């Protein structure tokens, strides 16, 4: 059930991560399979974080400067948690 996370969209990565979590919540998962699923989950989380970071860098906000003209500034979002 290994998936190349670099080829997944954010949404696909989250869906796959949710499937992994559901599978890990089952108590009948053998240890070796659970460790492999956990590793895949970590890779998916890292990939999703990278996609979010990249998207945040691409976002821009139009703001009005002191002269009343619009200027483009990079988005600056506070990180919570």
**pLDDT at residue 5 tops 50:** no
Q: State the Cα–Cα distance between residues 25 and 43, nearest whole angstrom.
A: 18
What pLDDT, on the 0 to 100 scale, is given for residue 1? 47
User: Does the residue 21 lie in any domain?
Assistant: yes
What pLDDT, on the 0 to 100 scale, is given for residue 65? 75
What pLDDT, on the 0 to 100 scale, is given for residue 40? 96
User: Does the residue 62 lie in any domain?
Assistant: yes
Domain harbouring 28, CATH code: 1.10.287
Contact 48, 11 (CB under 8 A): no
Task: Convert the pLDDT of each residue in 19-77 to its tens digit.
Answer: 999 999 988 999 999 999 999 999 999 999 999 988 877 776 666 678 888 777 776 66
User: Does the residue 17 lie in any domain?
Assistant: yes
User: Does the residue 79 lie in any domain?
Assistant: no
Q: Containing domain of residue 16, as a range?
A: 5-74
Domain count, the chain: 1
User: Does the residue 10 lie in any domain?
Assistant: yes
What pLDDT, on the 0 to 100 scale, is given for residue 34? 94
User: Does the residue 53 lie in any domain?
Assistant: yes
């Amino acid at each position: 059930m290994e998936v190349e996370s670099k080829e997944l969209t954010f949404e696909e990565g989250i869906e796959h991560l949710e499937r992994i979590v559901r599978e890990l919540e089952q108590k009948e998962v053998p240890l070796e399979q659970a460790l492999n699923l956990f590793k895949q989950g970590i890779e998916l989380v890292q990939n999703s974080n990278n996609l979010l970071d990249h998207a945040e860098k691409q976002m821009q906000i139009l703001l009005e400067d002191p002269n009343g003209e619009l200027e483009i500034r990079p988005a600056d979002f506070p990180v919570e948690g």
